[in-house]
Amino acid sequence: MKEVIRIDDNNEENLSLTHFLTEGDGWQECPPTEPLNLDKIVYLGKDSLEGDMFACYDGGCIHIYKGHLNNGKYESRR
């Protein structure tokens, strides 16, 4: 089990990524298994419009996601 770099609360639910940002199409829904396939997730903070924001590292690329920090824990296959 991996954890997001910054965690503030004691929620029982694990991290949930709901959308990722694309250059051409804006926010797109994430597959439910998304955290399993990322190298590292960094919590960026809570945006007043979008909610919890994350920088996610995958094979040398950085992607922007939004979702719910909850307890900050997530399962990883890497």
Cα angle 9, 78, 42; round to 5: 35
* pLDDT surpasses 60 at 16: yes
Which of the four pLDDT bands, split at 50, 70 and 90, describes residue 4? low
- Tell me the whole-structure pTM to 2 decimals: 0.80
Tell me the average pLDDT across 50-62: 93
CA distance 58 to 71: 22
Of the ranges 7-21, 31-45, 47-61, 63-77, which one carries the lowest mean pLDDT score?
7-21
Number of residues in the chain: 78
The residue ranking higher by pLDDT, 53 or 3, is 53
* Predicted local distance difference test score (pLDDT) of residue 71: 85
